[in-house]
Amino acid sequence: MGNSRAYPVFRTTDASAAYTQAMRLCALLVECDDEVGLFAELRTVADVRQMAAVLPEANFDSVGMRTGSVGEDVWFGLDVATADDASWEAHLPLGVTEHVPRGSVEERFVAALGEGVAAIDWHGLWPDEPEANRYGDAMYDGVQVVFHGERAQLSRWTEHHTVFVHVTNRGDLPRAQKLAAHIGSEVLGEKQLGW
């Protein structure tokens, strides 16, 4: 068990270029889950409105726990469709996490991103390579693009967008190198804890 190991294989300040490279890698998966995972941190009311247009059924929530003036927990409860801008301002930043059918909204999701950290995760299965004693593993394999981040486990904001390939829970540098070469790149750093 445990987490996959994620290798950064592409980094850019152009979100659409990162998405394009991630899709090129997804095309190499011999199997890809029917759903993709989406996450976005929304820092402005405009970001919330744009993302609500892409994900109208999504649950938006506060990023982190909030407390009121006397220390009580404050829960987010606004209706995305009816809340006014002033109501949104009091709750920013907001986060949204959704699983959607693969191919349904990913491009519009990328176009709606603001300046917050965001990610798209595609779980799947890399092809077997018996001659190299390398086999795909549906529990760990896949592609991830992190917008405004350089860590597979979402963390601090950066201006860069990073594409990761996820492999076994022990790591597989040769496979990561081969996948990076497919998009004309190379492994850009040490393996990281993945999903």
Q: What are 63-80's pLDDT values in tens digits?
A: 765 555 666 555 556 677
Helices 173-182, 15-26: inter-axial angle, 10-degree rounding: 110
Q: Which band of pLDDT confidence, cut at 50, 70 and 90, is reported for residue 88?
A: confident
Distance CA(140)–CA(137), nearest Å, equals 6
Any idea which residue has 């892409």 for tokens?
A: 54
- Give the C-alpha distances (Å, rounded to integers) separating 184 from 56, 117, 167: 37, 25, 19
Which two tokens mark 167? 């492999």
Query: Could you tell me the pTM of the whole model?
Result: 0.91
What's the average model confidence in pLDDT over 29-42? 97
- The H or E element that residue 7 is part of is strand 5-12
What's the average model confidence in pLDDT over 137-147? 97
